[in-house]
Amino acid sequence: MGITNAILRVREHRKSEKFADVEFLIDSGAVYSLVPGKILDELEIEPYKEMSFSLADGSTVKRRISSAYFEFEGDGGPAPVVYGEEGDTPLLGATTLESIGLVLNPFTRTLHPMRMLMAKMVQK
C-alpha cells in the first residue's frame, strides 16, 4: 500500500464536455474512488445504488455510487465512483488506477503505466 496525491480530470463519460479537475489522495489500498458529491452533481453524474463502507475506526457509513470517466496525463478509463459527503476526502482507489492502466510505486509515490498481461491459450 502507498499514499500520494495527484490531479485527475473527472467526466460523466469519455466524450462529455463538462469536466472537473480534482486533487485526489491516491491510496492503493482503497478499492473505489471518491469524488465530492457537489462536483458529481455539477457534472450531472447520477447515482444508481447505495453501498456500505467500513471506516478505519470500525464504524460503517453508507454512500451513493455511480460511475465516471477519469483521466490522467492523457490516458483515461471508466470506473465506479463514490459520492462524497461533507468531510470526505477525494480518494483515488485501485479500481480507477487499473481502469486507466496505472500502478502506484509505493517507494517513489509516483504513478506509472501498468505492465499489461494477457493469457494466451496454447493448442496441443
CA nearest to 3, candidates 92, 70, 86: 92
Report the pLDDT value the prediction gives residue 27, as an integer from 0 to 100.
Answer: 80
CA–CA separation, 57 and 79 (whole Å) = 26
CA nearest to 26, candidates 111, 117, 114: 111
Question: How distant is the alpha carbon of residue 124 from its chain centre?
Answer: 41
Backbone angles phi, psi at 102, to 5 degrees: -120, 155
pLDDT tens profile 91-103: 999 999 999 999 8
pLDDT tens profile 47-89: 999 999 988 899 999 999 999 999 999 899 999 999 999 999 9
Helix H or strand E segment including 92: strand 91-92
Report the pLDDT value the prediction gives residue 117, as an integer from 0 to 100.
Answer: 74
pLDDT level of residue 1 (50, 70, 90 thresholds): very low
Question: Quick one: fold of 3-113?
Answer: Cathepsin D, subunit A; domain 1 (2.40.70)
What residue segments make up the domains of the chain, in order of their start?
A: 3-113
What is the percent of the chain where pLDDT is above 70?
A: 98
Strands 91-92 and 20-27: parallel
Report the pLDDT value the prediction gives residue 57, as an integer from 0 to 100.
Answer: 92
